[in-house]
Amino acid sequence: MEYVQFHEIDDGRRIAFRYTPGTAPALVFLPGYMSDMAGGKATAGFEKARNEGRACLLLDYSGCGQSSGDFAEGSLSRWRDEVLALIEAQIEGPVILIGSSMGGWLMLLVGLALKERLAGLVGIAAAPDFADWGYADEQKAQLAAGATIYEDNPCGPEPTPTHAHFWQDAQQHLLLGAGIALTCPVRLIHGQRDEDVPWEISLRLCKALRSDDIQVALVKDGDHRLSREQDIALLLRQAWSLFD
């Protein structure tokens, strides 16, 4: 296993990452909200890429995993810029972005910034615009007023926070209401038993994207995590189809 390295941002943030060099295009995995690069989907993609001599980059956003920083200071803008800084520092040539949940929103923002370097997108329960459709009006009012809200966390005992800074920044990055100017091949995977991100969001994303090369795979018994062996196998098949 490649050891964890650190990339230092100008303000002193140290972003943890793993990188295996290889043939292009390089895979870049973007975790979900409060997730990190140690998850099963990211690890499986990294190991397959390494075994086949393909370039792959994993990273932890600031305030997550092994990276420095305060999670409360995190935002889509901040994390997008960290991803772009790592890509610039580690990768030459085209990139395929794989985004899980919130990472599926982030991959769109990174992809728009990469422009002609973007070779493909793979969304896993992609959650673009969840700061809009994912909160009740009362919660939005609290966030707009600067409060932090907390919700039950199905993956652990501590509630999941949404900080006002994150939510307010996210309002500048809403994408589903207009066309998304990305024309690369896209593969979207979504479980129809997802209780966090409705599977219809992937259909809305498919419609919003400008690309004509889009495939949406719905897993009827799949949940939000899509971390079962068969789910990961599907993810790898979809991602590797972009190499053909």
Query: Which residues are marked as active site?
Result: 101, 194, 224
Structure token digits, residue 52? 């086949």
Distance CA 56, CA 194 (A): 28
CB 63 within 8 A of CB 36: no
Sign (positive/negative) of CA torsion 84, 86, 88, 90? negative
CB 56 within 8 A of CB 20: yes
Structure token digits, residue 185? 């091949």
Structure token digits, residue 96? 């395929």
Distance CA 52, CA 40 (A): 18
Structure token digits, residue 141? 């009012």
Structure token digits, residue 217? 């795979």
Phi, psi of 231 (to 5 degrees): -70, -45
